[in-house]
Amino acid sequence: MRLAQIRNDRGLSQKALGEMIGRDASTIQRAEIMHHSAKLATYVACAKALNVTLSDIFGDDLSPIERRVIETFRTAPPEARDRLAQLLDLAAAPLPPST
């Protein structure tokens, strides 16, 4: 569960995130600790407000560089995403042998 980390990375308090989604800070706190009363709708609203997916919130931890690549891709204009994918393909290609 990475909701608190994502919120903190955005520089938001629980109160600020709650205000963004029309809930109070205690609702965010319950969601962050996965309290049994936390509702899926809260997680969906948080994901939308934070511009992440539910997989980002509930998924495995990514390294900082993996998060940076994903965040850069998601926030890039659609016309730049193909170029970003090409750059990643280029970076992943094996280097030619040195002479």
Residue 87 pLDDT = 93
Domain ranges of the chain: 3-58, 62-94
Task: Quote the percentage of the chain above a pLDDT of 90.
Answer: 69
**pLDDT tens-digit profile of 31-77?**
999 999 999 999 999 999 999 999 889 987 778 888 889 889 988 99
Name every residue whose Cβ is closer than 8 Å to that of residue 23 and which is 6 or more positions away in sequence.
42, 45
pTM as predicted: 0.65
Q: Say whether domain 3-58 belongs to CATH 1.10.260.40.
A: yes
